[in-house]
Structure 1
């Protein structure tokens, strides 16, 4: 879907300023879920092709000016997942520390609301990618660095790449894993609420490095 819209922009079928079809129409056109539509739009926004205007719609912004790109087809490769996680560690550990320093009451409400949404493992398992993304994005916003949320939007379509993986022995999402993830999220959130900069950084690093090591072990065994 993202590739098709990008091609339409490239050939001039959609020009700068055009409003693209609404979410429900895109679901019908491409026969995909709303989650897929939202991920595709997020990817195209990160590439500079689309821009959202709240309450109005999504519009063509240009033909793209982002040189760094994570193609969706590459995001299912184990080596790409490891690269993405290493990149996330470099940014999100600092984002957590900044959030502990700068968060507002509204930021804390967003972070803990995102955390609450993952409290039920069954509900979490129905949409793990989006719920995990919401939590990490809330922390990026709380960092009060304008580029942190943009980075999260950039990696958003592949932040939890399990559903795209082509590696046969990839770790499965189990109830125990979701409970562990929620516990780690809680440690990060509590450190941010306490304004514990070092604790927030350490909790985020522990969380992301744990995921990275799981995938590295698969890469070694492959």
Structure 2
């Protein structure tokens, strides 16, 4: 008898990230050290360059590494950031970085199509979600539910059932991610402001503006997470 339950395979990039972080913690690559080139690291850990690149991004988000464009990747911290404000991993062996990359592409396209195809029904539903989310008494958990419904409605308004299906497939990771980042001070308010801006671009039937606002909405959280990781990696001083 075979089981229909599929256990997600661990990505090569996650394995490479674990191995590299272990070497950093062991002192093989001390703080301040410039790492070998991507090609050399990929050969060292037995993975492709794209997997190695993703491993480096994962460790950047975790606070271990810092990239300087045109210069290289440097070790900035040799201790795990488990005590930091956020766990950047998601269920199924994915990371927030994985989710961000997909969301930027998916939500930008959905907003672009929705701006051209928006019906009064979809517009009214978006306004309903925004009104509820704008309630000063809304809880974090309720805001996350409304957040998911807002983005799902835009996917539906795109008129492309395959795109909507792709959005639905992200549901579990989106909710897990949202419940984590909503704890960042001011994140709820900034997310709501972004949503209002996206809805306004949709109402204007401006595909280019809607797509850009949807993408920037995701990029904003990325920047906040990087700052959060920087703060967690920064040595604490006592008075």
Instruction: Name the TM tier (shorter chain).
Output: 0.5 to 0.7
Which residues in structure 2 correspond to 1:6-155 (within 5 Å)?
11=3, 63=4, 74-75=89-90, 80-155=95-170
- Listed one character per residue, the Cα deviations across residues 99-146 of structure 1 (whole Å, up to 9, x for unaligned) are 000111111112111111201143142423211100000100000011
Answer yes or no: is the 8 Å Cα contact 1:108–1:193 preserved in 2. yes
**CA, structure 1 residues 189+162, in 2 after alignment: closer, same or farther (shift >3 Å)?**
same
Q: Which residue of 1 aligns with 2:220?
A: 210
Q: Which runs of 5+ in 2 are unaligned?
A: 12-87, 234-239
C-alpha distance in structure 1 between counterparts of 2:197 and 2:161, whole Å = 24
**Per-residue deviation, 1:197:** 0.8
- Listed one character per residue, the Cα deviations across residues 165-190 of structure 1 (whole Å, up to 9, x for unaligned) are 5xxxx77244x321211111000001
Normalization by structure 1: what TM-score? 0.59
Between structure 1 and structure 2, the one with the greater Rg is 2
Answer yes or no: is the 8 Å Cα contact 1:78–1:219 preserved in 2. no
C-alpha distance in structure 1 between counterparts of 2:9 and 2:107, whole Å = 18
**Per-residue deviation, 1:214:** 1.9
Q: Which runs of 5+ in 1 are unaligned?
A: 1-9, 12-62
Answer yes or no: is the 8 Å Cα contact 2:10–2:93 preserved in 1. no
Normalization by structure 2: what TM-score? 0.55
**Number of corresponding residues:** 154
Which of 150, 172, 189 is the equivalent residue of 1:179? 189
Q: Which residue of 2 aligns with 1:198?
A: 208
